[in-house]
Amino acid sequence: VDQGVEAGHEDLYVTFVSTDNFAAAKVAGEYMAEQLGEGKVIIVRGANGSAAGDDRADGFKAGIEGSGLVLANEQPGDWTVDVAMQATENMLQADPDISGIFCCSAGSALSVFLLFLFPEVSFLTTGERHVQPGLSLIHRRIQASMQY
């Protein structure tokens, strides 16, 4: 489960296990800041209004706060590969000097890998949740880091 149960409904379950989306994404942001040092980064978000997606984007921002990384842009990927790929392409066309990409979902992480599969590109991407499918798509010229 990737988000909590609304307060007042605790009687609906005996045990609840969930990812702390904010904390996990903060670790990803800290890791990216440590690896890159400085530069511009973008966020491929989930769907607008999604608590899980908002927590992930906010956590990443907290992780890069005070570092040499600057958030250049963020756009929703709507949890799908196609939309996330288009959002990533739009942001990179608007500013090709991007050093890092944070993806709020597996679909957006996969879209980044597909987008950069063949060109000679060096960048760092971190993503949240279930990004293992993308690992098999990493081209040798792409530096990538996956975080759960």
Query: What are the pLDDT digits (tens) for 105-138?
Result: 877 777 777 666 645 444 555 555 444 444 444 4
* Three-class SS state of 23: helix
Secondary structure letter of residue 137 according to DSSP: T
Query: What are the pLDDT digits (tens) for 68-101?
Result: 999 999 999 998 888 888 898 899 889 988 988 9
How many CB atoms lie under 10 A from the CB of residue 4? 15
Residues 6+ apart with CB under 8 A from 36: 68, 69, 99, 100, 124
Length of the chain: 148
Angle between the 81-94 and 106-115 helix axes, to the nearest 10 degrees?
Answer: 60
Please, what's the b/e burial string for 32-57 (b: 16 or more CB within 10 A of its CB; e: otherwise)? bbeebeebbbbbbbbbeebebbbbbb
pTM here? Answer: 0.77
